[in-house]
Amino acid sequence: MGQSLTQKILKSHLVTGDLEEGNEIALRIDQTLTQDATGTMAFLQFEAMNLSRVQTECSVSYIDHNTLQTGFENADDHAFLQSAAARFGVYFSRPGNGICHQVHLERFAKPGKTLLGSDSHTPTAGGMGMLAMGAGGLDVAVAMGRGPFYLPNPKVLRVWLTGQLTDWVSAKDIILEVLRILTVKGGVGKIIEYAGPGVKTLTVPERSTITNMGAELGASSSIFPSDEQTLRFLEAQGRAQDWISLTADEDATYDEELAIDLSLLVPMVAQPHSPDNVVPVSDHVNQVVNQVAIGSCTNSSYQDLMRVSQILKGKHVHPDVSLVISPGSRQVLSMLASNGALTDLLDSGARLLESTCGPCIGMGQSPVSQAVSVRTFNRNFKGRSGTQDASVFLASPEVAAACALTGFLTDPRTLGLPPLVDFPERFRIDDSMILPPGDPTTPIRRGPNIRPLPLAPALNDTLDLPIILKLGDNVTTDDIMPAGSKILPLRSNIPAISEYTFHKIDAQFAAKAKDLKQSLIVAGHNYGQGSSREHAALAPMYLGLRVVLAQSFARIHRANLINFGILPLTFVNEEDHGRLKPGMILHLSNVHQAIQTPGSFVLTLSNDPNPILVRHDLSERQAKILLAGGLLNSTKYSVDA
């Protein structure tokens, strides 16, 4: 029987597990990436494992999130990461060189290989025919040491593309359409594989916009074949030798299928406050816009920004709109500078930002109170922009540029002739801001904000846990551990950052948790969707969270909970969620035996004779980790860095 593209890569990288069954599998990882907001933890963990040099084909450490240096903390993190990269054998992409996913695509991604990154948008490299997945920093640290990466054996969903995009409709509209159909839960447990005659009409950067936002579907990864378009991109990056042809067999079978005719798509927006809340932009044409932000790992490629510059050329941004642009990489920025497009952007009134994540993670450019902000980014969770009452719409660069000119949400098809951008024959290649692996004796530079890792206690056999918080569906890791310019500098200091746990939902959470000493959270479906930040597990663990009882979990967050000793349980009967209230005490007994036995077990409530039936769905490996109090404990590594 024929194989899908996904199956081919899974098979060639399988370490343990069975691809025919629904169990946990383990994969060999060829490349890793880390970024500065998750990387300090990953390297502290790598160091704690007493490993001396990375064992992958290539590992890269990027500085792109925490570049707003309002105090010593971020600069100290950069110095730590630079010294750790040199010592442990990792490439180091200096601040200003670009957003990790864009630079990785340009300079490192290779078809047919596996990539694990401590960032949820690592699947961006799926546009290159690579199996690229996001994970917590600890899993990436293990992979850097050549340990396998464990994940539930994924289902494969094929998206069959036919036709061709029409004028003013772009790759962002394709993934917004997929999000509209599948929702933010629709990809959980799946790899999304793109195929069909429409695929060859899309360039690698366009494909990567689509695979990037597969993270918003909750998918484990998204992938395109490696074909002539892939070769064209690699040739233009001076890397033709990295190309291989890789497609699914014609008779491959899939677990699920979806078909999209590209010629029927129209310009879309994701309305506040969820990336799947998608409608045509024409539904909102009278909506005033206060801010437009163009950039992020989703839409800041050379072609994206060239199209924006052509739309804005010779015109002026509406006086009531603030337009900010962050090019995805130094390569993109320098090409715009050398061909004059940057001048067109600046002349139009655009404000130029660094080639970093910037406003996407609330690092500056928070919009005005009650703003409507149109962003080419991938997440519009409430408050993520830094302005709690702002309404963020996600859109393509074409829609964003049109809004910047008119001051209203605008269907760009009303602007006349579309921009026409040629695919460059040669990108501008200058790797001087990527430092190669250095001397293994390089001393590690550790500023005062870089604190040792806390360890989880071993899981008790009997637990009496008060419910500290009860939540609904789709709680994000931004809800659990917010980001932004005030909190991100504390990423290397768990005691300090833990004070912000659930801060926007309950400002007293940290204080309450410390009073209770041990606690449990009740949640709905898709708990922990969004980013890979393990701080959303580490900080609650530090505050005494022992169990999360939810209807279902997002993959990366569930793995992070287990890695840091927090037991993830799901309801067997959905309606039991309604019976639970904050303050109630749940009693768990014989926990050790229960988590080592497949199937369900019961929790009892004080003052209620009806028990709550729950499942753990842990593999044997995961049960062992929990019994030991987390992955670092279970492998008996020393963490007194």
What's the min distance (Å) between Cβ of 531 and ligand SF4? 7
Residue 451 CA: distances (Å) to CA of 119, 235, 444, 635: 21, 44, 13, 21
Nearer to ligand SF4, 310 or 492 (CB): 492
434 and 97 Cβ atoms separated by less than 8 Å: yes
Candidates 199-207, 431-439, 461-469, 524-532; binding stretch for ligand MIC (CB under 6 A): 524-532
Q: Which of 8, 87, 121, 491 binds ligand SF4 (CB under 6 A)?
A: 121
What's the min distance (Å) between Cβ of 399 and ligand MIC? 21
- Give the rounded distance of the alpha carbon of 11 from its chain centre: 25
The helix/strand/coil state of 337 is: helix
| Per CB under 6 A, 474 contacts ligand MIC | no
Q: Which of residues 81-100 bind ligand SF4 (CB under 6 A)?
A: 99
- Closest-by-Cβ residue to ligand MIC is 531
The helix/strand/coil state of 293 is: strand
What's the min distance (Å) between Cβ of 234 and ligand SF4? 23
Q: Which of 277, 291, 331, 531 binds ligand MIC (CB under 6 A)?
A: 531
Nearer to ligand SF4, 396 or 406 (CB): 396
Q: Which does 533 bind (CB under 5 to 8 A by kind): ligand MIC, ligand SF4, none?
A: ligand MIC
Candidates 114-122, 238-246, 261-269, 439-447; binding stretch for ligand MIC (CB under 6 A): 114-122
Q: Which of residues 53-72 bind ligand SF4 (CB under 6 A)?
A: 65
Instruction: Give Cβ neighbours of residue 353 (< 8 Å, ≥ 6 apart).
Output: 295, 324, 325, 326, 359, 364, 365
Q: In what order do the strands lie in the sheet with 31-35?
A: 131-134, 114-117, 31-35, 58-62, 91-93, 434-435
| Per CB under 6 A, 78 contacts ligand SF4 | no
Residue 210 CA: distances (Å) to CA of 290, 317, 417: 27, 28, 25
Beta strands in 345-493 (DSSP E): 351-352, 372-375, 391-394, 434-435, 463-470
The helix/strand/coil state of 38 is: helix
Candidates 108-116, 355-363, 460-468, 492-500; binding stretch for ligand SF4 (CB under 6 A): 355-363
Q: Which of residues 192-211 bind ligand MIC (CB under 6 A)?
A: none
Vertex 11, ends 6 and 16: CA angle to 5°?
125
| Per CB under 6 A, 37 contacts ligand MIC | yes
| Per CB under 6 A, 36 contacts ligand SF4 | no
Q: Which does 532 bind (CB under 5 to 8 A by kind): ligand SF4, ligand MIC, none?
A: ligand MIC
Nearer to ligand SF4, 119 or 411 (CB): 119
What's the min distance (Å) between Cβ of 374 and ligand MIC? 18
Nearer to ligand SF4, 377 or 427 (CB): 377
Nearer to ligand MIC, 375 or 533 (CB): 533
What's the min distance (Å) between Cβ of 566 and ligand MIC? 18
Give dist(CA 172, CA 211) in Å, integer: 10
Q: At 292, give phi and psi (nearest 5°).
A: -130, 130
Q: Which of 24, 76, 77, 119 binds ligand MIC (CB under 6 A)?
A: 119
What's the min distance (Å) between Cβ of 536 and ligand MIC? 8
Q: Which does 38 bind (CB under 5 to 8 A by kind): ligand MIC, ligand SF4, none?
A: ligand MIC
| Per CB under 6 A, 483 contacts ligand MIC | yes
Residue 72 CA: distances (Å) to CA of 38, 89, 273, 535: 18, 26, 33, 21
Which tokens is 593 given?
A: 């035996």
**DSSP state, residue 267:** -
Give dist(CA 205, CA 335) in Å, integer: 15
- Give the rounded distance of the alpha carbon of 497 from its chain centre: 20
47 and 75 Cβ atoms separated by less than 8 Å: no
Q: Which of 119, 304, 411, 576 binds ligand SF4 (CB under 6 A)?
A: 119
Establish whether the linkage from the previous residue to 273 is cis, with ω within 30° of 0. Answer: yes
Q: Which of residues 578-607 bind ligand MIC (CB under 6 A)?
A: none
Q: At 620, give phi and psi (nearest 5°).
A: -60, -40
Amino acid at 339: N
Candidates 19-27, 258-266, 357-365, 416-424; binding stretch for ligand SF4 (CB under 6 A): 357-365
Vertex 507, ends 502 and 509: CA angle to 5°?
60
Give dist(CA 78, CA 66) in Å, integer: 9
What's the min distance (Å) between Cβ of 297 and ligand SF4? 3
| Per CB under 6 A, 614 contacts ligand SF4 | no
Candidates 11-19, 169-177, 465-473, 529-537; binding stretch for ligand MIC (CB under 6 A): 529-537
Q: Which does 99 bind (CB under 5 to 8 A by kind): ligand SF4, ligand MIC, none?
A: ligand SF4
Binding site for ligand MIC (CB under 6 A): 37-38, 65, 119-121, 134, 361, 483, 530-533
Binding site for ligand SF4 (CB under 6 A): 65, 99, 119, 121, 296-297, 357, 360-361, 377-378
